[in-house]
A and B are shown apart, each in its own frame.
Chain A
């Protein structure tokens, strides 16, 4: 059972998660570019 994260820890953890999800969107765009433009 994990203890609760503090506010700044939540901000950092969810901020990182948002960043990697945004970066994943960028990755999908890169794939689309490669498939369409070679």
Chain B
């Protein structure tokens, strides 16, 4: 396989970070040369454990996701009968919980838990990045931050899905779609927290905003809270859940949120640059892949054919 310039740079950086010895370096380069140019031949033929092969998310990230999604679901369930509190179905629901005021208290408690998860997340990625910077192993391309390559990946992936390209682009740990989703969720959470805070602390907002703006701001926040919630609900149900439950290769469920691991075929298909790092850091993966390549006769470009 002929690696792109970016993939070559990722590979060289991984070798440096892992302090690879010359023998291992030779082994890695030989393995890369043996790999088929058509990467789909790899991800269609490798063995994968459906609950995950490679480490991807720490326990902290998994706890944050768990907190965010449970509070999100419950916030939606309690927010709806608060917003439509006069509806025929909302009144028995609120009565079941102890009255509208109790539903509100539950909703606010859940909101505080969600905010805690967000703060926990900022600490995790902040300290994690600092630790990598200090160890000189930080790579911008490996983070969730958007880079120019994402635009090119998006274009190349669109070409692939429209049948004008044979392989998907070589993407990093987080692909363009995940970055869009992450920042959309971040924006949505910010809107919900800001608008929710104006319901809880109207005097505070009135005291810091100019008098001419305060009531307009309050009205804007009152409109945006339920509508942003609805937008988030749509994004989660029709985008996120499609990608992690229904998309080909993920059905019936992607296990990463529980195990913190990603399957081998998924890593090679959508996060090939991260897979290159696995090849460098995991000798057992090199042995597995070499054995697989040598046992397959269908790959026309291989020296064994």
Question: Which residues on A are within 8 Å of B, measured CB to CB?
Answer: 1-3, 5, 9-10, 12-14, 16-17, 20, 23-24, 26-27, 30-31, 33-34, 37
Question: Which residues on B are within 8 Å of A, measured CB to CB?
Answer: 45-51, 73, 76-77, 80, 84, 87, 226-227, 230, 233-234, 236-238, 241, 245-246, 251-253, 255, 263, 265
> A30 with B76: in contact, given A13-B253, A16-B253 (CB under 8 Å)?
yes
Contact yes or no, B48 A3, CB < 8 A: yes
Contact yes or no, B50 A5, CB < 8 A: yes
Q: How far is the CB of A15 from chain B (nearest CB, A)?
A: 9
A13-B255, A31-B230, A33-B87 known; 6 new pairs, CB 8 Å cut-off, are A1-B45, A13-B253, A27-B233, A27-B236, A30-B233, A33-B80
Which residues from A are CB-within-8-Å of B80? 30, 33
Contact yes or no, A2 B241, CB < 8 A: no
Which residues from A are CB-within-8-Å of B237? 20, 23-24, 27
Give me the 3 closest cross-chain CB pairs, A-B, nearest first: A13-B253, A24-B237, A13-B252
How far does the alpha carbon of A33 sit from the alpha carbon of B47 in the complex, in Å?
46
Contact yes or no, A34 B230, CB < 8 A: yes
Contact yes or no, B263 A2, CB < 8 A: yes
Which residues from B are CB-within-8-Å of A33? 80, 84, 87
Which residues from B are CB-within-8-Å of A31? 230, 234
Q: How far is the CB of A27 from chain B (nearest CB, A)?
A: 5
Q: How far is the CB of A10 from chain B (nearest CB, A)?
A: 8
How far does the alpha carbon of A2 sit from the alpha carbon of B230 in the complex, in Å?
36
